Amino acid sequence: MPASGAVTRSTLRQQIADALRDEVLAGRLLPGQEFTVKQIAEQYGVSATPVREALVDLSAQDLLDSDQHRGFRVHQFSVADFRGMVEARALVVDAVFRELGGGQLAARAQGTVLVSVRRRAEEAARAARAGELNILIGYDLRFWRELCALVANRYVAEFLHRLRVQAWVFSVPFLRTECENGAGGPGTTWLWNGYEPLVDALTLGDATAARTVIGDYDDHSLRWADRLERPQI
């Protein structure tokens, strides 16, 4: 019986953490916004213990800041933080693909996993072109998580996933404003949609082409960061 209770509590803790992360990614909890354990517990109709544990987990992922007297608040990343995320991501991903030869990459990019990755790529690209930010974020995170699981060990994959979530937390408030006019709005220019060429490179076992596509993505992200730092006229 105790084991069953522990599993239930652990599951509830994870469900709350996932729900709050989704709230942040959707822009319903904004950077700097404060809340308490009590408020979240009442919102979800649960006890304080799993809520507190979930908030501590999100704090460990740098998504929340904790204050002993005021509760928690959504972490506010800076443009410099975002640049650091992109640069760290680029270094790790480039190293992974440099270690993979074409034959090894082709061998890994076979079977049902690649079919799933391609499906994510198609949906993410479509959402990016349409400026459908909420849909894009979901497919983007799944795409990169499955892709990383395909080409990297789980420690590297988890590190990259955490960076990607943090990058989205930073980006969402800016991109949501730019995409608020819907499809064809100015924000769609900054929603990268090169997922499918990357999957094509993987299918062919072409590590060089894959590195080129990812390099273009990183350059795109850094150009967007440059734009954020320039005064808008």
Same domain? For 124 and 86 the reply is yes
* The predicted structure's pLDDT at residue 99: 75
Task: Domain of residue 206: give its range.
Answer: 79-229
Same domain? For 95 and 209 the reply is yes
* Domain-ending residue, one of 48, 74, 100: 74
* Domain-ending residue, one of 22, 49, 74: 74
Report the number of distinct structural domains present in the chain.
Answer: 2
* The predicted structure's pLDDT at residue 183: 45
What is the average per-residue pLDDT within 62-66? 94
Q: Per-residue pLDDT for 184 more than 50?
A: no
pLDDT above 90 covers what percent of the chain? 59
CATH for 39: 1.10.10.10
Same domain? For 108 and 47 the reply is no
* The predicted structure's pLDDT at residue 74: 95
* The predicted structure's pLDDT at residue 135: 94
Spell out the SS3 assignment of the chain: CHHHHHHHHHHHHHHHHHHHHHHHHCCCCCCCCEECHHHHHHHHCCCHHHHHHHHHHHHHCCCEEEECCCEEEECCCCHHHHHHHHHHHHHHHHHHHHHCCHHHHHHHCCCHHHHHHHHHHHHHHHHHHHCCHHHHHHHHHHHHHHHHHHHCCHHHHHHHHHHHHHHHHHHHHHHHHHCCCCCCCHHHHHCCCCHHHHHHHHHHCCHHHHHHHHHHHHHHHHHHHHHHHCCCC
CATH for 129: 1.20.120.530
